[in-house]
Amino acid sequence: MKDKFIETIITSEPLSESGFYESDCFGIEFSVASTSNNMFVNGRLVIAGTAFSIDQNVGYIDRSIYEVNFVVGAGVNEATIVRSVPKNIPKLIDNG
């Protein structure tokens, strides 16, 4: 009997504006460039040059909507959202 694994791919999305961002993934990371203004993710401070990540237990999907707010400063707003998503599934089924 073969083990069944869920194949995943990694996506990345540039982020330069405050707003709300869907996860729909197994794992998500908010990485802030070292030259960027700091930002908050759901109220948690993420300092320039660092990252904040959340991983789910195997088989669980994070369906959170994250609120991102850049801190006003002299730098630019420059971050990346990296997600681990199921391969060959364009949008996860909404079990709403």
In a domain, 95, yes or no: no
When pLDDT is cut at 50, 70 and 90, the band that residue 74 belongs to is: confident
In a domain, 30, yes or no: yes
Measured between alpha carbons, how far is 31 from 8 in angstroms, rounded to an integer? Answer: 20
Q: One-letter amino acid identity for 84?
A: S
Nearest CA-CA partner of 70 in 23, 33, 27, 95: 33
Its domain, for residue 67, covers 8-86
Mean pLDDT for all residues in the chain: 87
Cβ atoms of 76 and 16 within 8 Å: the answer is yes
When pLDDT is cut at 50, 70 and 90, the band that residue 81 belongs to is: very high
Find the CATH number of the domain harbouring 45.
Answer: 2.60.120
In a domain, 91, yes or no: no
- pLDDT at residue 96 above 50? no
In a domain, 3, yes or no: no
**How many separate domains does the chain show?**
1
In a domain, 2, yes or no: no
Residue 28's CB is within 10 A of a number of other CB atoms, namely 23
